[in-house]
Chains A and B, each alone.
Chain A
Amino acid sequence: MKRGRWACSERYAALMSGLATGLVAMLLGLTSAMAMAQGPAHAQVIVTDSAQAPAADDPRWREQPLAHDLPGQGAWYRVRFDAPLSAPGDGPTMLYLPYFYGGGRILLNGVLAAEVPHTTTSLRVRWERPMLLPLPAAALRPQGNELLIQAHAEHQGTGTVLPRLAVGAQGDLQPLFERRLFFVRTLPVLTWVAGSVVGLLVLFIWLQRREEVLYGLFGLAALLWAQRTSTFVLESLPAGAWDLWRSVYHLCTGGFVVVMALFVLNLAGRSRRGLTRGLIAYAALGPLLFVVLGEGAAASVWTAGLALVGLGSVAVAVWAAWRQRTAETLAIAAAVVLSVLAGVHDQWVATRSPLLMRWAPDWSDHRLFLLHHAANVLLLVMGVLLALRFVRSLNAVELANRTLEARVRQREQEIEAGYRRIAVLQREQAATDERQRIMRDLHDGLGSQLFTSLSRAERGAMDSSAMADTLRGAIDQMRVAIEALASEEQDFDAAFGNFRFRWDARLREAGLAPRWDIALPDGNGASPLAPHDALQLLHIIQEALTNVLKHARASAVVVRVGVQDAMLVVDIEDNGEGPQAATPPGDAPGAPPSGGRGLANMRNRAQRLGGQLQWHVLAPGTRVSLRAPWPVPSTTAPAHS
């Protein structure tokens, strides 16, 4: 056997083994139900519908083997036996009748032992269940007992039928009776109830999810089959209801066949709209025919068509199983074929087919019908398939959910990484901007000062003290730059601390009394001034202090840094000879030639802070005042250059 796709799946292996187990159990059960106590193999019969028991010496008594059947007529049977016939067992002596379709009366030695309802003008009877009847002990004789049985013709059945009956102890007969009762009556009752419940439930599911056509078909099939099975459950009905019920029976059978065909087509992937509509129309035709033509004709014509539909389903199922080799199609094909075989078997049993009589006369006598069991297996297979599909789709949904969640997580991580990258880029950009500002500052300030000085020195325009002054100025500029930029925290407080420490010592050495009045609001942990802004500020203060040292001849200097009314307020105030520091240094004798540019630089730096610089002449002394908006605009919103 080729290994198909289905062979790999554990779940399908479980399905197949479950199916096989069900079949084996059914066969075992049926085989055991077949076992029969030894009983009289012959009876004498008089064919008559008369309710009066024929006389013992009636010349019409004829010997016949059991089981015996007659088309369409009632009969009297006479069976003679010695009690007990079978090996002695427990309990009273009983009569076991595996079936007694038409109903009737049973007399032992002339005493009425039992009466089963039979078809009359007002009642329709088809007695399915086996019977285990106690024989009245008073009437029982050790030898030469005589059973008289009036058997009625079963309504619309194949005729009068008397099975091989058995007389024996209850202990021997009870198990036989109960086994047959289970298969012939209990299972159909279960099928009726369970099929109805499951069918309605699945149809309800289908109503919520119309696109799951297989669910709808399965629900319908289960419901139809359950109603059809009622034929084995309802044994007697009022005459009026009987015909209606029979019609329902046929319609359910037909509907089931059509629904099965649709199911098989759907499963095989061969569902076509036209075909579906045609099949549904044919199913709907049934009731119409029943109304117009009556049961007999309608049943024969319509059912013939249904047989074709059924055979078509078998062909499609087998073809699909052959082509697809999936567990689903194989299981359905097997179940459908099984049902068809069971149906053929039942037909043979019902019509007492000579073929069956010759091959298996005992089995034939049992008249056990298999189709409703096979159909149960078929429904079971369908149900299991759908359950598996349901589980599979749930798994698929879960997998999809997991995949989706994983993807969402991945996207989130990517987005987060993107944000991080952007933040890094922004920081890098900010650092680059900062570097460029500082480079420009070095270039414009220190660089140009050094180049100018070099040029002047080369043409001999600088004496050594002027040169030393220039170089000191350059070193001071570098110091400020390093203080503003190199402190680890890039913190204005740190930068200003270094600056103040350095200048405090220098001013004291020069004999000035410095005072520092520093009150900048802290920036909530952040530096209140960006490094390049701090650089501008320190440059301005340094330039002012240098001028005080060089020119003011002052004895005290006050440096004030603070914020008032959203303005940065910086004052450098000395008590020296006022105007010198404020006037262009060229006017003052001995002033360094670069001094003029020093003042211009201070103004430029003030502008870079967005502020203005002013010189106030005091008496005595000078005050250099810087006023700039606070917070400094470039600090809060760095301009990208």
Chain B
Amino acid sequence: MTDHRPVGVLIVEDEPEFLRRFSEAVLGDAQLRLLGAASTGKAGLALLDAQPPDVLLVDLGLPDLSGIELIRHAARHHPDCDTLVVTMFADDAHVIGSIEAGATGYLLKDASAARIAAAIHEVHEGGSPISPSIARRVLARFRGGVAAPDAPAPPSEPSPLSERETELLRLIAKGFSFEAVAEVLCISPHTVVTHVKNIYKKLAVHSRGEAVHEARQMGLL
């Protein structure tokens, strides 16, 4: 990467200890620039619109509004902004909801300062962290159907995932690292990352399409 402009980061976290921890991690990395740190959703929203960041770190359990709304707002109004959702265990049911809302990855709350900074860089450079439980949830969400182009009788609603993506998700669900997955599938780790990113996009699009469809059904549109 030749772009040396520091990555602008906005943190929205209501727990002061973690707000401080994340802020220090960002401040401790010369390539990151802390654009703002808010402890409420509304303040976060105001900061987000006032100065759109490159990466948004957001906790879901905010006192005034749901972190999901913040993620959705960012995805709709600031498509260049990557969002990392802050979670304790990465198997939180909310992680998948966040990805559907437009988040690109997650960050564990107990991650070290170096790990926090690295995750921000990764996501900004197009990486997408994924955990086995997220992979399993994505597979379950698209309910197994593989959209092979030559499949003779596709199911009524074919899975939007390609065969390769499904295979990749299965390996990740078993706990294989990106490197191990790359080895098994004979692709580069970088391609694995691209696949994951595509899967996330499909998930977000799919979920939005579903929302529109449901809204039509309910007569809201």
Contact = CB atoms under 8 A, between A and B. Distances in A.
A261 to B, nearest CB: 83
B175 interface: yes
B23 interface: no
A501 B177 contact: yes
A494 to B, nearest CB: 6
A482 B89 contact: yes
Contact of A501 (B89, B110, B115, B172): B172
B110 A493 contact: no
Contacts of B177: 501, 504-505, 508
Interface of B: 89, 91, 110, 115, 131-133, 136, 172-177, 179-180
A509 B112 CA distance: 11
B89 A497 contact: no
A211 to B, nearest CB: 67
B91 A500 contact: no
Contact of B131 (A472, A488, A493, A498): A498
Contacts of B175: 496-501, 504, 516
Q: Find the residue from A482, A497, A508, A516 having the highest chain B CB count within 10 A.
A: A497
Contacts of B176: 500-501, 504
Given A501-B132, A504-B177, A487 B110 contact: no
B191 to A, nearest CB: 19
A619 B21 CA distance: 42
Nearest to A496: B175
Nearest to B129: A505
Contacts of A479: 89
A365 interface: no
Contact of A482 (B91, B110, B136, B180): B91
A475 B91 contact: no
Given A497-B173, A498-B91, A498-B175, A487 B180 contact: no
Q: Find the residue from A479, A494, A498 having the highest chain B CB count within 10 A.
A: A498
Contacts of A391: none
B189 to A, nearest CB: 12
A526 interface: no
Nearest to A501: B175
A487 B133 contact: yes
6 contacts: A482-B89, A496-B175, A497-B172, A499-B175, A500-B132, A501-B176
Given A475-B110, A504-B180, A493 B174 contact: yes
Contacts of B136: 487-488, 494, 497
A437 to B, nearest CB: 21
Contacts of A501: 131-132, 172, 175-177
Contacts of B180: 504, 516
Interface of A: 472, 475, 479, 482-483, 486-488, 493-494, 496-501, 504-505, 508-509, 516
A496 to B, nearest CB: 6
Nearest to A478: B89
A498 B132 contact: yes
A573 to B, nearest CB: 18
Contacts of B89: 479, 482
A498 B179 CA distance: 16
A17 to B, nearest CB: 66
Contacts of B132: 494, 497-498, 500-501
Nearest to A476: B110
Contacts of A496: 174-175
A505 B177 CA distance: 7
A496 B132 CA distance: 9
A494 B133 contact: yes
Contacts of B91: 482-483, 486-487, 498
Nearest to A475: B110
A492 to B, nearest CB: 11
Q: Find the residue from B173, B175, B177, B180 having the highest chain A CB count within 10 A.
A: B175
A450 to B, nearest CB: 16
A498 B133 contact: yes
A336 B162 CA distance: 96
A307 to B, nearest CB: 93
A559 to B, nearest CB: 11
A188 B17 CA distance: 119
A497 B110 CA distance: 20
A508 B173 CA distance: 19
A529 to B, nearest CB: 15
Contact of A500 (B115, B174, B179): B174
3 nearest A-B pairs in the assembled complex, by CB-CB distance: A500-B175, A497-B175, A497-B132
B173 A494 contact: yes
Contacts of B131: 498, 501
A117 B172 CA distance: 121
A475 B173 CA distance: 22
A487 B131 CA distance: 13
A311 B115 CA distance: 120
A289 to B, nearest CB: 98
Contacts of A505: 177
A487 B134 CA distance: 11
B82 to A, nearest CB: 20
Given A487-B136, A494-B173, 13 more contacts: A488-B136, A496-B175, A497-B136, A498-B131, A499-B175, A500-B132, A500-B174, A501-B131, A501-B175, A501-B176, A508-B177, A508-B179, A509-B115
A575 B2 CA distance: 40
A98 to B, nearest CB: 95
Contacts of A499: 175
B56 to A, nearest CB: 23
A499 B91 CA distance: 11
Contacts of B110: 472, 475
Nearest to A514: B177
A131 to B, nearest CB: 96
Nearest to B89: A482
Contacts of A483: 91
Nearest to B114: A509
Contact of A497 (B115, B174, B179): B174
A472 B91 CA distance: 18
A503 to B, nearest CB: 9
A483 B91 CA distance: 8
Nearest to A482: B89
